[in-house]
Structures are given as C-alpha cells and as structure tokens.
Amino acid sequence: MSYDIYIGEAVLESSADKEEFFCRWAVKGHSEKQAPSFKGDELTGKGNSRHPGYIQWGDFCRRNNLYEFFFDEDDGLMREHPGCFPLKQEHLEVLEAALKELEKKDSRPAGLDERYIKDYIAQIPEGEETHSYDKVRLIWLVYWVNWALENCKHPAIANH
C-alpha cells in the first residue's frame, strides 16, 4: 500500500449519482518542464505527485525530523488519509531547513543508486548507497510547495 501525494491547486470534487454522494477537496496531477526529475524516478518524472509506500514515507519522515510535520494529529499535513490541507510559507521554510540539514550531513548526490535502478529489489547494505533518495524527496517537496505557493489560489497538499 502507498500514499498518493499531490501538491498544487486544491479543487472541489463531487458526485451526486444515485449510487454515491461525495464531496471532497483534492489536488489534480500536474507537471512542469522545469520541475526536478531524477534517473530511476520515472513514476514521478516532472510531476506534482509521489507514491511512496507507507513504511518508506514514515521512515523518510523520521530520518529527516518531519514525522510530526506530516503526521501530527492536530497540524500534520498528512494527518488524514485521504486528506487535503492548505500550504503556507511556514511549511516551505520547514522543508527548506530539512533539505539544508540533510545536505550538511550527507554529501551524496540526490538520486537512486544505480544498483537499485537495474534491479528494483536489490538489497544494498545500509551506508553503501551511492545516492540519497531522501534528497530526491526533499528537493521534490521544496520545489512543489514553492510552486504551489507562487502559482495557486488555494495551494494544498493532498494524499489520496
């Protein structure tokens, strides 16, 4: 199982067919030519969505001191699943600080280890990875939160 995380313009989705009534806030898929992309990360490409496994995303958040930022039951940006929450400048600042902190302690480039790209089930011993996938995620988060704040009337993060 995985999250489907989207960052961009919050839109209201609804349906009133005879079988199901619903109304919810969501963020649609979008891409930008100048968005960051990384070899081996073709699913995300230059898009505003990521689809990490629950365990992988939780581990990433813990490693980068972002667990409460995303999952705090009162304020977390992913406190509900599914859910959609507004983005603010302070969110961007937290993510930029997390990226800066990671860059200080990890000199590896952002990306996926070549061994993993060749064999997605490769077991690479901890500490022997040639690239940092946490940097990929943080660069993606910073880019898209910044993009949403600059380009959207209702900037938001949604997880479906």
Rounded average pLDDT over 9-36 = 89
Residue 11, CA distances (Å) to 24, 30, 48, 86, 152 in order? 8, 13, 15, 11, 11
Phi, psi of 135 (to 5 degrees): -65, -40
Lowest-pLDDT choice from 6-20, 66-80, 98-112, 130-144 = 6-20
Helix 89-105 with 133-151: angle, nearest 10 deg: 160
Q: Is the pLDDT of residue 125 over 80?
A: no
pLDDT of residue 107: 93
* Overall residue count recorded for the chain in this entry: 160
Q: The pTM is what?
A: 0.90
pLDDT tens per residue, range 34-82: 999 988 788 889 999 999 999 999 999 999 999 999 999 999 999 998 9
Paired with 5 in beta bridges are 50, 159
Q: Is the pLDDT of residue 121 over 60?
A: no
DSSP summary character for residue 41: -
Under 8 Å between Cβ of 158 and 83? yes
pLDDT of residue 130: 78
